[in-house]
């Protein structure tokens, strides 16, 4: 029973109206088709009466034909009016939906504004900015501490190797200029050279005699 007493919505009313308009349009189309069929029959009768020489019958049939054509013209006017009404109904439905959407949006915005406290929002933003600044300061302090811990502990040879590698990657011209520069390995005397430099001539002669070489 509740289904039968349910209140119709705007969409329901518009759907019913569009359905009625479509039915009216189909009925007008059928009537026009019937009038066109009747028009052709009258035209054939007029030709038949003209051939037989019956002028009075031709006049009567001609008046009927004129009235019938006027009626057919009216069907086009009514059909155009029905189409216009259907279009207006669709436009009104669209406008009502837009108005409903705007009303819903307005209510939502009002509800959100009621829930939001400007003072609390401002306080939250200020707290966020304050904590963000603290985090930045803490990061800077950690970086400074790490720099102090590792300062002066770099291996010079490793640093020089890294520098040379970077210079080589920059370009051939720079690498070419660095070729003549003495490297850490080249500047240091070898262990065999140092050891040979410390042996005297007498020691060399003694070792040769021991081997039987004069």
Look at residue 41 in the predicted model and tell me its pLDDT. Answer: 92
CA distance 123 to 42: 90
Look at residue 22 in the predicted model and tell me its pLDDT. Answer: 87
Look at residue 115 in the predicted model and tell me its pLDDT. Answer: 78
Look at residue 36 in the predicted model and tell me its pLDDT. Answer: 92
28-51 pLDDT per residue, tens: 999 999 999 999 999 998 888 888
Sequence-distant (≥ 6) Cβ neighbours of residue 78 within 8 angstroms: 28
CA distance 7 to 19: 19
103-113 pLDDT per residue, tens: 888 888 888 87
CA distance 58 to 53: 9
Domain positions in the chain are 10-112
CB of 34 closer than 8 Å to CB of 75: no
Look at residue 38 in the predicted model and tell me its pLDDT. Answer: 92
pTM: 0.43
pLDDT < 50 regions, the chain: 1, 172-176, 178-197
CA distance 155 to 41: 116
């Amino acid at each position: 029973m509740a289904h039968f007493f349910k209140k119709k919505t705007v969409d329901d009313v518009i759907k019913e109206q569009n359905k009625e308009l479509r039915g009216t349009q189909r009925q007008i189309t059928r009537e026009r088709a019937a009038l066109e069929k009747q028009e052709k029959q009258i035209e054939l009768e007029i030709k038949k009466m003209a051939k037989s020489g019956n002028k009075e019958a031709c006049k009567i049939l001609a008046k009927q034909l004129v009235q019938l054509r006027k009626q057919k013209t009216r069907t086009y006017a009514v059909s155009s009016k029905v189409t216009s009404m259907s279009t207006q109904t669709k436009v009104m439905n669209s406008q009502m939906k837009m108005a409903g959407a705007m009303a819903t949006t307005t209510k939502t915005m009002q509800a959100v504004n009621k829930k939001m406290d400007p003072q609390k929002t401002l306080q939250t933003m200020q707290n966020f900015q304050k904590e963000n600044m603290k985090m930045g300061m803490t990061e800077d302090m950690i970086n400074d501490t790490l720099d102090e811990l590792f300062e002066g502990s770099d291996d010079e040879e490793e640093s020089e190797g890294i520098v040379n590698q970077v210079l080589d990657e920059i370009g051939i011209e720079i690498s070419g200029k660095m070729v003549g520069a003495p490297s850490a390995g080249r500047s240091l005397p070898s262990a065999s050279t140092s050891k040979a430099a410390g042996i005297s001539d007498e020691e060399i002669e003694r070792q040769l005699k021991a081997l039987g070489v004069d």
